[in-house]
Structure 1
Amino acid sequence: MSGDSDLIKLYSSRILALAADIPHLERLADPDATVKKRSPLCGSTVTVDINAADGRITGFGQDVKACALGQASAAIVGANVVGRTLAEVETARDQLKAMLTQGGPVPDAPFDGLEVLQPARDFKNRHASIMLALEATLEAMQTAAKEQCA
């Protein structure tokens, strides 16, 4: 029964509030790059559109079909990603992964709100869904950078 109790604690009111208020849920009309990522384990998906200029995200839209943890992650990413560089998004992605899998510290600001997901460390089957928003954003930035150089 403690497993059920741990799962209930995992879905805290803060996580549920974030999941209910995800910013930038409108897809961009003319994105520089679009990437869709899917978690093979649970089927969660996140599609990210970005516009970029001078190496920074200038526009962001997302379509999130994920569990509450994936939605909470997408909410934090969406609230903080505009104006960020590829290096900042890559660092946030790496720090989130380390926080979940290696007991690493909370990601640096402005992505430090991802600390709300620390209780998910013990639920490895949820990690992929939590990672989707940052992974899709990073790949979209890499794609946009290649397109702008071509």
Structure 2
Amino acid sequence: MSTDLAALYSGRLLALAADIPHLGRLDAPDVTIRERAPLCGSTVTVDITAENGRITDFAQDVKACALGQAAAAVVGQNIIGRTLDEVTQARKEFIAFLKEDGPAPAPPFDGFEALLPAREYKNRHASILLSLTAAQKALAEAS
């Protein structure tokens, strides 16, 4: 493995990918959104329930590379209780972090900082954004 790839697939990133919270599907979601990254074929299906504009329950079925899985883990760790504004802001910050060399997203989504080595792998950005994008769309639809 090249040094670049070794840095990309760090222990922290692989640990996130191996332990994705809220993996699976909800029995009775308010909204289900499936997102697909066309370039690599990764998919994430997100189920949510929401009340008063906040996510009350969340599940995700993740079929993605380790980078997409790591990002899904950060989403799963932090998404319950969030509002559409919070999720939209996190996604905006995450996109700026990946594509514009911006700072890591603000807490509670600062765990995305683990994906710093993925910035230069633009072909993986769509997969990395799947879970957060699906969560944002689901909450927008539920609101």
TM-score normalised by the shorter chain: which range applies? Answer: over 0.9
After TM superposition, the score normalised by the length of structure 1 is 0.93
Helix, strand or coil at the partner of 1:122: coil
1:108 to partner: Cα distance = 0.7
Helix, strand or coil at the partner of 2:95: helix
Aligned to 1:124: 122
Q: Percent identity?
A: 63
Number of residue pairs matched by the alignment? 143
Aligned to 2:62: 64
Which of 7, 12, 15 aligns to 2:13? It is 15
Aligned to 1:52: 50
Q: Does 2:39 match 1:28?
A: no
After TM superposition, the score normalised by the length of structure 2 is 0.98
* Structure 1: runs of 5 or more not aligned: 146-150
1:9 to partner: Cα distance = 0.9
Aligned to 1:148: none
1:7 to partner: Cα distance = 1.5
Residue correspondence of structure 1 range 88-99 to structure 2 within 5 A? 88-99=86-97
Which of 126, 139, 142 aligns to 2:140? It is 142
Q: Take 1:26 and 1:124, find their aligned partners in 2: how far apart are those partners?
A: 28
Q: Take 1:25 and 1:123, find their aligned partners in 2: how far apart are those partners?
A: 26
Aligned to 2:99: 101
1:26 to partner: Cα distance = 2.4
Helix, strand or coil at the partner of 2:107: coil
Structure label with greater radius of gyration = 1
Compute the RMSD of aligned alpha carbons. 0.9
Spell out structure 1 runs of 4+ moving beyond 4 A.
none
1:89 to partner: Cα distance = 0.4
